[in-house]
């Protein structure tokens, strides 16, 4: 897994890539470096949450190798720590071996270690208000659940009970959403029914449905909202509408099997169709300290096919409905994240808005065909290069050369 901090380098990367494009553009006045024209922001943010002392900061250390504060007392993390990790993808390694590019840019994922919360966070207990404001900014929630015993690590509620912990956090998120729903209904409900405005009535109906669910302890992600209602609710950034993954944090002795606590978490998650990733944050932190060879040796010794962090990233990608396409060449091999179902024109816009605006066509090679035939030339000779128009639905692993023209 590549691990980098891209935030400080992002501007430099854009300058290099787009200087190349500017140099070869037909229109020398082309304002390719205009920040307002840059591509669709597909950067992804996942928030790591959980009660104090469940292993959040240890897991974050493993993700970013930053060695942030991970102490054995509540609220060791107060401000959120942010780190960017490259998404593991063997395909980019094979493409790099084939093209020997000057630059390699894998797709990345941002993780935020959000301060621990306690019962009553929705009412401001502990670090409640800060916690809730930070979590609203993420695309997906990774909820760390303690699935190991140990008197040497304090549990904020005393005894270890993963279901109680899950329900504590989920309740606080639902209460926070309910407060927003009630406040908004008070403002627009009477007006909507008086004016009979169609959009306002749809919003009220969606909020009423949300209120009924939250008052019966049902998170909004489990509610069957229609498309119009989903659009109306999107701007509220509801916490319980966000995709969720439970991270069952085990100890070293439980590697290789599901202990009793993990079984309980999986049974609970199955009822709400929520994915579970089982990992040992302590082992993940140790793995992050090793080079690739030693890391693989440790995984083999533990009889683990892949690290928990790799499984977490892949599970989050699946949860969010994401996929990857590639641009390749001797100058750069780069992976781009897109939402499944996006067409070629929209995907071109991820690189730069002018790619979308002036889209002509896309030359597409599947990754599998490139690996089978061994070079672009041989793929062309085999008739496997496709010319696709703007409505082509991009597929995971597509290798694209976009043709565009901006006057």
In this prediction the pTM is 0.78
Find the Cα–Cα–Cα–Cα dihedral 151, 155, 158, 160, rounded to 10°.
Answer: -80
CB 233 within 8 A of CB 43: no
Note the pLDDT tens digit of each residue in 382-402: 999 999 999 999 999 999 999
Q: Is the pLDDT of residue 30 over 80?
A: no
Which pLDDT does position 36 carry in this prediction? 38
Note the pLDDT tens digit of each residue in 263-309: 999 999 999 999 999 999 889 888 888 888 998 899 999 888 888 88
Which pLDDT does position 84 carry in this prediction? 81
Stronger pLDDT, 86 or 158, i.e. the higher one = 86
Which pLDDT does position 210 carry in this prediction? 96
Q: What are phi and psi of 247, to 5 degrees?
A: -105, 105
Our CA angle for 245, 247, 250, nearest 5°, is: 165
Order of strands across the sheet that contains 140-146? 81-86, 108-113, 45-49, 140-146, 244-249, 276-279
Integer distance in angstroms from the first to the last C-alpha of the chain?
41
Tokens (6 digits) for 167? 């329900």
Q: HSE of 402 in the Cβ direction (CA atoms, 13 Å)?
A: 27
Buried b (16+ CB within 10 A) or exposed e, 340-368: eebbbbbbbbbbbbbbbebbebbebbbbe
State the pairing for strand pair 81-86/244-249. unpaired
Rg of the chain taking only CA atoms, in angstroms:
24
Nearest Cα residue to 65 out of 323, 396, 288: 288
Instruction: Mark out the alpha helices in 243-366 (DSSP H runs).
Output: 260-271, 281-288, 292-301, 308-320, 344-351, 353-357
Tokens (6 digits) for 338? 């897109």
Q: Specify the residue for token string 């380098």.
A: 9
Stronger pLDDT, 238 or 79, i.e. the higher one = 238
Tokens (6 digits) for 17? 């890539």
Nearest Cα residue to 398 out of 344, 337, 325: 325
Q: Is the pLDDT of residue 325 over 80?
A: yes
């Amino acid at each position: 897994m590549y691990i980098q901090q891209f935030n400080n380098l992002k501007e430099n990367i854009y300058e290099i890539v787009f200087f190349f494009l500017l140099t070869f553009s037909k229109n020398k006045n082309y304002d390719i470096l205009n920040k307002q024209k840059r591509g669709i922001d597909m950067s992804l943010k996942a928030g790591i949450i959980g009660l104090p002392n469940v292993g959040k900061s240890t897991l974050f250390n493993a993700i970013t190798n930053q060695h942030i504060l991970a102490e054995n007392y509540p609220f060791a993390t107060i401000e959120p720590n942010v780190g960017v990790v490259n998404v593991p993808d063997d395909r980019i390694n094979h493409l790099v071996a084939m093209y020997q590019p000057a630059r390699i840019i894998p797709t990345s994922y941002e993780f935020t270690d959000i301060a621990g919360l306690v019962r009553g966070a929705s009412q401001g207990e502990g670090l409640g208000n800060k916690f809730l404001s930070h979590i609203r900014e993420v695309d997906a929630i990774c909820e760390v659940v303690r699935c190991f015993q140990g008197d040497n690590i304090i549990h904020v509620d005393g005894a270890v009970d993963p279901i109680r912990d899950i329900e504590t956090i989920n309740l606080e998120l639902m209460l926070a959403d309910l407060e927003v729903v009630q406040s908004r209904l008070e403002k627009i409900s009477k007006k909507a029914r008086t004016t009979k405005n169609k959009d306002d009535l749809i919003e009220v109906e969606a909020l009423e449905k949300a209120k009924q669910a939250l008052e019966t302890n049902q998170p909004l992600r489990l509610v069957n909202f229609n498309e119009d209602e989903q659009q109306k609710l999107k701007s509220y950034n509801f916490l319980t509408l966000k995709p969720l993954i439970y991270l069952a944090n085990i100890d070293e002795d439980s590697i290789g099997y599901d202990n009793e606590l993990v079984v309980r978490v999986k049974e609970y998650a199955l009822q709400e169709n929520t994915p579970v990733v089982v990992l040992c944050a302590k082992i993940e932190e140790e793995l992050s300290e090793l080079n690739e060879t030693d890391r693989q040796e440790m995984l083999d010794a533990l009889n683990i096919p892949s690290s928990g962090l790799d499984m977490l990233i892949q599970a989050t990608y699946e949860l969010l409905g994401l996929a990857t396409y590639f641009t390749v060449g001797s100058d750069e091999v780069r992976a781009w994240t897109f939402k499944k179902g996006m067409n070629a024109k929209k995907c071109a816009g991820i690189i730069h808005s002018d790619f979308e605006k002036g889209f002509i066509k896309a030359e597409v090679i599947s990754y599998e065909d490139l690996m089978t035939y061994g070079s672009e030339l041989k793929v062309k000779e085999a008739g496997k290069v496709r010319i696709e128009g703007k409505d082509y639905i991009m597929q995971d692993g597509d290798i694209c050369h976009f043709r565009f023209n901006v006057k």
